[in-house]
Chains A and B, each alone.
Chain A
Amino acid sequence: MDLLNTFLIGITAGTIYALMAISMVLVWRSTRVVNFAQAGMALLSTYFGYEAVSRLGSFWIALPVAMIGGALVAALVEIILIRLLVKHSSSGPIAGVAPIIATLGLLGVIRSISAMIWGGQDLRIVGPISNDGFTINGTTLVFSPLKLLILVTVLVLMLILSIVFQKTNIGLALRASAYAPEIARLSGIKVDWVRTLGWALAGAAGAVAGMFQTVNGNGTLSPDSIEFSLLLVSGFIAAVIGGLDSLIGAVIGGLVLGLMIAFVLMYVSSGLFFIAPFVILLTVLFIRPQGIFGAKAARRA
Chain B
Amino acid sequence: MSLNVSNLTVHHGAIRAISQVSIAVPTGKLAAIIGSNGAGKTTLLRTLSGLKNPTNGSIMWKGEKIVGIKPEALVRRGISHVSEGKSVIPELTVRENLELGAIWRRNAKESKESIDQVVSIFPRLGERIQQRADTLSGGERQMLAIGRAIMAKPQLLLLDEPSLGLAPLVVEQIFQTIRDLTTSMNLTVLLVEQNAMGALKIADLGIVLNLGKVVAINHAQALIDDPAVRAAYLGY
Contacts and interface: CB of A to CB of B under 8 A. Distances in A.
B138 interface: no
A176 B75 CA distance: 16
B92 interface: yes
A184 B80 CA distance: 12
Interface in A73-126: none
A186 interface: yes
Given A173-B103, A175-B92, A180-B89, A187 B76 contact: no
A182 interface: yes
Interface string B61-94: 0000000001110011000110100011111100
A179 B89 contact: yes
Contacts of A191: 72
A190 interface: yes
Interface residues of A, number: 17
Nearest to B101: A187
Contacts of B92: 172, 175-176, 179
A182 B50 CA distance: 11
A189 interface: yes
A187 B100 CA distance: 6
A188 B99 contact: no
Nearest to B91: A179
Interface string A178-208: 0110111111111100000000000000000
A169 interface: yes
User: Which bucket holds chain B's interface residue count?
Assistant: 20 to 34
A191 B104 CA distance: 12
Contacts of A175: 89, 91-92, 96
Contacts of B96: 172, 175
Nearest to B79: A186
B64 to A, nearest CB: 18
A91 to B, nearest CB: 10
Main secondary structure of the interface of A (DSSP, over half): helix
A182 B51 contact: yes
Contacts of B76: 188
Contacts of B106: 169
Contacts of A176: 89, 92, 100, 103
Residue among B70, B90, B103 with max Cβ neighbours from chain A (10 Å): B103
A50 to B, nearest CB: 39
A185 B71 contact: yes
A186 B83 contact: yes
A187 B83 contact: no
B141 interface: no
A182 B51 CA distance: 8
B152 interface: yes
Contacts of B89: 175-176, 179-180, 183
Residue among A169, A179, A183, A188 with max Cβ neighbours from chain B (10 Å): A188
Contacts of B152: 187-188
Contact of B72 (A169, A172, A180, A188): A188
Interface in A5-20: none
Contacts of A172: 92, 96, 99-100, 103
B75 A188 contact: yes
Interface string B98-118: 011101101000000000000
Nearest to B158: A186
Nearest to B104: A188
A169 B106 CA distance: 8
Contacts of A186: 49, 51, 71-72, 75, 80-81, 83, 87
Given A176-B92, A176-B100, A185-B71, 19 more contacts: A169-B103, A169-B106, A172-B96, A172-B99, A173-B103, A175-B96, A176-B89, A182-B51, A182-B83, A183-B83, A183-B87, A185-B72, A186-B75, A188-B76, A188-B104, A189-B100, A189-B103, A190-B72, A191-B72
Interface of A: 169, 172-173, 175-176, 179-180, 182-191
6 contacts: A176-B103, A179-B91, A183-B89, A186-B75, A187-B152, A188-B104
Interface of B: 49, 51, 70-72, 75-76, 80-81, 83, 87-92, 96, 99-101, 103-104, 106, 148, 152
